[in-house]
Structure 1
Amino acid sequence: MITPALPPSREPSRTNSTEESITAWALAARGGDPDAVDLFVRALHRDVRHYVTYLGADPQSADDLTQDTFLRALGSLQRFEGRSSARTWLFSIARHAVIDSIRYRSCRPRLSDTDDWESAAEHTQPCDLPGFEEGIALAELVGALPDDRREAFVLTQLLGLPYAEAAHASDCPIGTVRSRVARARTSLIEWLDEAERGAPLAVAA
């Protein structure tokens, strides 16, 4: 029997010292410290790549969007004042990079109708994340969520952003983020139950 193994329904949090260090590196990088730039990029590179992948980037564009995110961030450091955490600030930039990429692609002819999002997510997601039981990949189920719920779930439940910061990164009220996460969790638990019974996946509306 497959037991639905989703993260607990609570706001995950990273240690204050870690977040303070990352923000301090961003502020030091703003002042021209090359070591701080390196530390800042290394600390958040993996999370940014996971985030853009969960927002729909394919394997090739995920790397490009991650690089674009950091290029935008480093070019905008003079405007970063530390009012929010550097992680929240960077995820907001990543989100805009993905949106710009989608807009750009929508104006160009599609070369292929193949959507390999699930494969990309599974290859970039650590296999010890909740949901990898008896061959069921959480990434595949998360990929079936509507875009807004997927983003809220990924930011809070997989990347560990507090709800308030996820709301800031997503440019929406905190109550909206809570609602989206709750609805995403409900759908995922239902889908895990359906997978156990061998029922077809019912995509959330």
Structure 2
Amino acid sequence: MGDIFRTVPSRPTEVAADSVLDRARTGDDEAFNHLVAPLRRELHAHCYRMLGSTHDADDALQDALLRAWRGLPRFEGRSSLRSWLYSVATRVCLDTVAARGRRALPVDLGPASDSAVVGDAPLDGIAWLGPYPDRDLADGPAHPDARCEQREAVELAFVAALQHLPGNQRAALLLFEVLGFSAAEIATMMNTSTTSVNSALARARRLVADRVGPASQQHTLRKIGDARLRQIVDGYATALENADADALVALLTEDVTWSMPPLPAWYTGRRAVTDFAVRVPLSTCGTWRHLPTHANGQPAVASYLDPDGSGTHRAWSIDVLTLRGDRVAAITSFLDPEVFGHFGLPASLP
């Protein structure tokens, strides 16, 4: 991407790109928007990986583009515009991490509950990890491997693991492993030494390897195939809508987990998950409706709840399904109706 900003007179498209850059440096906002538009989605995904929240990613990207707009006259073209924008966005994210800390899932806060916690209340004062809509991923090459890599880099286990890294290690790992920058380029971006970057990378790789399984969700999904995947997603939604505990349990691995940020309680193993399902969502919540969606490169279901028989089912949660083989190994239900807009989903269903 950055190559188009080099001045090579024999290539008219590159000359035109330099002309747009020159106009942007003089304060032409249309020219600036033209330059950053192709990079906006991938920068947003980078901010999400760093911060674990679409809301924070929105704010960070807006702040980064404002800083870039103000600093563009000082951009000398020694690196590509893409590299420079990633430098700006990364610094914004590092400032946010330093001020706010990491985002968590219920599993990070305490042991699993052995039985259903009825009336569990949201835990205040915790910055919770949030889901990421696949529709926000960059429009990458059509090659399946490229699409797979994009989705692997936002998978829930990976983003959750990143939150356990200090900001500098998080940034170094993402810039090197996901985005393909060299250690020397990262050192320039982060105003440090190549030795420090390599040290941060080594520590980050060890921690992430300990927390992320050997097989990515993309590998699992390719092995399952689209037809079986649709059966699993439809079966999950139908079991909840019909209050069918047996159908739900048939979809689950023996060691399945279910968590519902911002509720602190979480469950592991079929017995505990079944007890929760029977005593809460399948009996006492109300009636459910669902729409299939995709989040964090994984199958997901948008859940809508009518708690009182009013006839209107309102946005309730985005349930991200993590699969092992052709069974559900984890359900992460993000109870945040505000994210439905990011997914392009309606606020209610009949």
Query: Could you tell which deviates more after superposition, 136-145 or 20-29?
Result: 20-29
Matched, 1:141 2:161: yes
Question: Aligned-pair distance for 1:152?
Answer: 0.5
> Max radius of gyration: which structure?
2
Deviations 1:20-62 (A, max 9, x none): 2257454552145656423321122123222222332532121
Q: Deviations over 1:67-102 (max 9, x none)?
A: 111111112111111122222322222233335546
Change (3 A) 1:97 1:145: closer
On the 8 A contact 1:131/1:137 being kept in 2, the answer is: no
Give the number of the structure whose residues are more often helix, by fraction: 1
Q: Is the 8 A contact 2:173 2:204 kept in 1?
A: yes
Q: Deviation of residue 155 (structure 1)?
A: 0.9
Rounded Cα–Cα distance in structure 2 between residues aligned with 1:34 and 1:140: 36
Partner of 2:218: none
The structure-2 alpha-carbon separation of the partners of 1:31 and 1:64, relative to structure 1 and needing over 3 Å to count, comes to same
1:115 to 127, 141, 148: 127
Match of 1:171 in 2: 191
Q: Name the CA shift for 1:193/1:20 in 2 (closer, same or farther; >3 Å).
A: closer
User: Relative contact order: is structure 1 or structure 2 higher (C-alpha 8 Å, sep ≥ 6)?
Assistant: 1
Match for residue 64 of structure 2? Answer: 69
Distance 1:147 1:97, change over 3 A: closer
Deviations 1:92-144, CA, capped at 9 Å, x for gaps: 222333355467769xxxx9423223x34686668833895xx8732222222
Structure 1 match to 2:3: 20
Counterparts of 1:1-205 in structure 2, within 5 Å, are 18-21=1-4, 24=18, 26-31=21-26, 36-56=31-51, 58-101=53-96, 112-117=124-129, 119-120=130-131, 128-129=148-149, 132=152, 137-192=157-212
TM-score, normalised by the number of residues in structure 1: 0.66
SS at match of 1:128: helix
Q: For the structure 1 residues 185 and 84, does the alpha-carbon distance in structure 2 shift closer, same or farther, using more than 3 Å as the test?
A: same
In 2, Cα distance between the equivalents of 1:179 and 1:147? 14
Unaligned stretches of 5+ in structure 1? Answer: 1-17, 199-205
Would the alpha carbon gap of residues 115 and 55 (structure 1) be closer, same or farther in structure 2, given more than 3 Å must change? Answer: same
Whose strand fraction is larger, Structure 1's or Structure 2's? Answer: 2
Unmatched tracts of structure 2, length 5 or more: 7-17, 102-122, 139-146, 216-254, 256-350
**Helix, strand or coil for the counterpart of 2:148?**
coil
Deviation of the 1:164 alpha carbon? 1.6
Contact 1:142 1:150 in 2 (8 A): yes
| In 2: Cα distance, 1:84 partner to 1:104 partner | 29
2:26 and 2:175 map into 1 onto residues whose CA distance is: 29
Q: Which amino acid aligns with 1:21?
A: I
Change in 2 beyond 3 A, CA 1:128/1:137: farther
The structural deviation recorded for 1:153 is 0.4
| Structure 1 pair 72–192 and aligned structure 2 pair: CA distance change class (3 A) | closer
1:121-177 CA-partner distances (Å, limit 9, x unpaired): 686668833895xx8732222222232211100111112222222111111111211
Query: Which residue pairs with 2:260 in the alignment?
Result: none
Instruction: Judge conservation of contact 2:67–2:88 (CA < 8 Å) in 1.
Output: yes
The sequence identity of aligned pairs, in percent, is: 29
